[in-house]
Structure 1
Amino acid sequence: MQYTQRKRGYRYRFIQRSNCSSSSETEIKKQYGKDNLSFTRFWGKILIKITTKRNLNMSDSENLILIAKEYGTPVYVYEEERLIERMNSLTSIISDDKFKLLYAMKANENPIIVSTINRNGFGMDACSIEEIELAMICGADSKEIFYNADCLTLDEIQYAFNKRVNITLGSLDAIKLVCNNFPGSEVIIRINTGIGSGHSDSVVTNGIMSKFGIFPSEIGVAMKLCAEQNVDIIGLHSHTGSGDMSAEIYVENARALIALSKRIPSIRILNFGGGFGFDYENHAEYDINYVYDCLTDERQKQNINDEVLFIIEPGRYIVADSAVLLTRVCSVKNNEMRSYIGLDTGYNHFPRCFYYNAWHDITNLSSCHHTLKTYDIAGYLCQSGDMFARERQLPETCVGDLLCIKDVGAYGFSMSSNFNLRCKPAELMITCEHKIKLIRRAEKLNDILSTCNMD
């Protein structure tokens, strides 16, 4: 039995032996090279210190193989350094105090990740009262939490006002609910400018087919309703959609929102949403500089007061490439037409490929074969659509090989489910100190059944 840990850039391998003799040391030195090893005996084990001095990181396949051996599969592995790099890439450009960055929690709401992002100066975009609660548990100030949910109930609105978070209303009915029950309050109104885009039709959030926001033609009605009950419209919000790589569309929508805001004298917040694209296949960078420059210019062109806060809500952009999903090959099947790889995970753990036909790079960390074969890569669910990739080329793959599904940090675990009564996997983080931290243990059946009445 063996497992592996890392500490201060060194790799430690524990090998269980019944007799820790000098002959055992000789045998091990043959395997690892005598100059790279030092030994400590304790409780029938030999502690081997392999002095490679390589940092533990997500890009090193050997590291991931060792992590999978110790923690099992499937398992999510995050890298804290990459998470911080992505945040810094935003804050180095958008450093103006006339802007505020919020993290879209729905992309990944693991508490350790939310806490890390909060500590780096981001506010929080919450889409449920549960996300509001988590944001506050993770240290977020209520003034920097923006509640952007849809189809609000009176209880949810009451909760948001009690917690003193910023609340966004996306329908005339929601506006009426606030006006009738919370006169004298302050609200942000979501506008559907008609300018929408996204990586899939199902994530486009502006346009005639979208359920979100009120249309510009309804702004007058909203203003009248609010004026009658002394409700101040302090902000406008609009969001084009998720994952589109076109910075031009983002800016076009922002220009439209800025123009509409001039109709409302009380405006002091303009929230342009998030949705910055992430190129999963080619890793082209989204043009943040263009967005920042255009919004700054537009403030001047449209004569917007410097006290009006511009808000941007990235989610995917921050967390997408901060994680991989490690999974074992359980079967390799061949028929007359295709070859299938079957994994020990499914879309219950990572649903993007199933929901959106999304492309994610998948590599075989175990195979030493140079010959490439074409495979369909399938999950383990009793559902024909449980496929991670079709006609993907990989080195010749065998049962037991370790595969790595990349760029799974956004809308992965946060959209996972218990379909087929399958338990959710563990989440690990490689910290900035290059240590492994368990940030969520693997789920057990008792966790799922704990909310059920079994009588």
Structure 2
Amino acid sequence: MRQKALPFTKSQIETIVKQFGTPFHIYDERGIRENARRLKAAFSWVEDFREYFAVKATPNPHIVAMLHEEGFGADCSSLAELVLCERVGVTGHDIMFTSNDTPAEEYRKAMELGAIINLDDISHLPFLIKHAGLPEMLCFRYNPGDARFGNSIIGKPREAKYGLTRPQLTEAYRSAKELGVKRFGLHTMIASNELDPTHFVETARMLFGVAAELYNELGIKFEFVNLGGGVGIPYKPGDKSIDYEGISAGIREEYNCMPVPDSVRPRGIYFEMGRAITGPYGFLVSTVLHKKETYKDYVGLDACMAHLMRPGMYGAYHHITVLGKEDWPHDHTYDVTGSLCENNDKFAIDRPLPEIEVGDIVVIHDTGAHGHSMGFNYNGRLRCAELLLKADGTVKMIRRAESLDDYFATLDFSEFESSREANCATCKRCVG
């Protein structure tokens, strides 16, 4: 059975488990930073290359700040994400605000921070102006409909709720220009976890073409095109990683073929990857609590779907390593489960693994994006801690585990507590 590499040893994790308990997500700082630098190096030919890390993937201030140190911006889509960025010093055009069905207060906050506003619908332009004012720079999200295909995860662009049609795009930019917007960008996002590099080259060709058309129609010179995110990662051991250099070379060729004068070509090429940046460098560490043998063999962990939703929600594959048994024969077949009262609370179904015993430490790979961030409290389960394995080998807790006090903090028990106190005061068992 082919294995996936880990950035730590069994003894290191055992020491961490003694200190923090399980379950927890742990992120590899060295891996994240080296990956960020590879991406930047691949696109060094671009005058203004920028990766706006999709905060939704791993909304932790330590991760956002780390990537900001590497020259990345932040892709935000909610008020909480904007405030998180503000609190770690990421503001101005270091933020791209791409939202949908957006409340007025979120536009106001984005404008206050000086973020680049990326509108999802033509009707949002007057809404933005009414509630937050007119920005100097504006971007619209293009949905190509049947002109392009998404993938199995994000679905057909025509059926997606996001973005403007091609005719709407012309109308939107014309209106924005007439209203006084001075600077423009163009955005699209039509893939998720895509491993075919040609998809991103074709997306660049499409967006460069639309930018050229809008220049010819409206005289708008775009400062940047944002190709979105969606770059996938190899969840399975046999999957091949995306080659940044290969994507870059294809996009460069399309850029040089833009049917406009050199002076009109956008200076900026942006991405808003999340999964590709941090996904492979996160791990959910859990302890085996129980084994059960009925019609199938089950291994029950102290982690559950509340800590990693993707396998239960999407049937997504996440590789599993049983620490210390990497070289053992994978001659047992298990369903690896959590404790929720839902039968889809499974990290793996019919997975070949080495023989597992209660107390074994299990590592679930590739949880560095859309892992902890998709957690929830169904069944009263509490979200776990997040740890950072620093480049110097030390470990830092960057988010504590939730407590019962956190869980009950938003509930009002005052009526019941006063009633209980009154009952206790009159209870004969408590008198004298």
**Residue 243 of structure 2 is aligned to residue 287 of structure 1:** yes
**Residue 140 of structure 2 is aligned to residue 189 of structure 1:** yes
* TM-score with structure 1 setting the length: 0.82
Secondary structure in 1 matching 2:308: coil
Match of 1:273 in 2: 228
Evaluate the alpha carbon distance shift between residue 79 and residue 220 of structure 1 in structure 2; reply closer, same or farther with a 3 A threshold. closer
Match of 1:386 in 2: 345
Match of 1:320 in 2: 279
8 Å CA contact retained: 2:205, 2:255: no
**Residue 313 of structure 2 is aligned to residue 358 of structure 1:** no
Larger deviation: 154-163 or 372-381?
154-163
CA-CA distance at 1:407 after TM superposition:
1.3
1:79-98 → structure 2 map (5 Å cutoff): 79-96=28-45, 97-98=47-48
**Letter of the 1:268 counterpart:** E
**Residue 386 of structure 2 is aligned to residue 436 of structure 1:** no
Evaluate the alpha carbon distance shift between residue 217 and residue 233 of structure 1 in structure 2; reply closer, same or farther with a 3 A threshold. farther
CA-CA distance at 1:226 after TM superposition:
2.3
Write out per-residue CA displacement over residues 134-191 of structure 1, whole angstroms, 9 at most, x where no aligned residue. Answer: 1122222322110011111222222211221100001122123235553464310000
C-alpha separation in 2, matches of 1:306 and 1:67 = 51
Equivalent in 287, 298, 309 of residue 254 of structure 2 = 298
C-alpha separation in 2, matches of 1:371 and 1:77 = 25
C-alpha separation in 2, matches of 1:223 and 1:139 = 31
**Residue 369 of structure 2 is aligned to residue 403 of structure 1:** no
Q: Which has the higher helix share?
A: 2
C-alpha separation in 2, matches of 1:292 and 1:391 = 39
C-alpha separation in 1, matches of 2:324 and 2:244 = 37
Match of 2:307 in 1: 349
Larger deviation: 165-174 or 176-185?
176-185
1:134-283 → structure 2 map (5 Å cutoff): 134-180=84-130, 182-183=133-134, 185-194=136-145, 195-198=148-151, 200-201=152-153, 203-204=154-155, 207-232=157-182, 234-262=184-212, 263-264=214-215, 265-281=220-236, 282-283=238-239
Match of 2:11 in 1: 62
8 Å CA contact retained: 1:323, 1:408: yes
**Letter of the 1:191 counterpart:** Y
Match of 1:118 in 2: 68
8 Å CA contact retained: 1:364, 1:403: yes
8 Å CA contact retained: 2:221, 2:266: no
CA-CA distance at 1:114 after TM superposition:
1.0
Evaluate the alpha carbon distance shift between residue 92 and residue 233 of structure 1 in structure 2; reply closer, same or farther with a 3 A threshold. closer
Larger deviation: 110-119 or 226-235?
226-235
CA-CA distance at 1:445 after TM superposition:
1.0
Match of 2:424 in 1: none
Match of 1:16 in 2: none
Evaluate the alpha carbon distance shift between residue 69 and residue 431 of structure 1 in structure 2; reply closer, same or farther with a 3 A threshold. same
Match of 2:430 in 1: none
Percentage of pairs with the same residue? 29
Secondary structure in 2 matching 1:134: helix
**Residue 297 of structure 2 is aligned to residue 339 of structure 1:** yes
**Letter of the 2:270 counterpart:** I
Match of 1:445 in 2: 404
Gaps of 5+ in 2: 1-5, 415-432
Q: Which has the higher strand share?
A: 1
**Letter of the 1:347 counterpart:** M
Aligned length: 395
Secondary structure in 2 matching 1:411: coil
CA-CA distance at 1:453 after TM superposition:
2.8
* TM-score with structure 2 setting the length: 0.86
**Letter of the 2:40 counterpart:** T
CA-CA distance at 1:380 after TM superposition:
0.8
C-alpha separation in 1, matches of 2:60 and 2:122 = 33
Evaluate the alpha carbon distance shift between residue 448 and residue 371 of structure 1 in structure 2; reply closer, same or farther with a 3 A threshold. closer
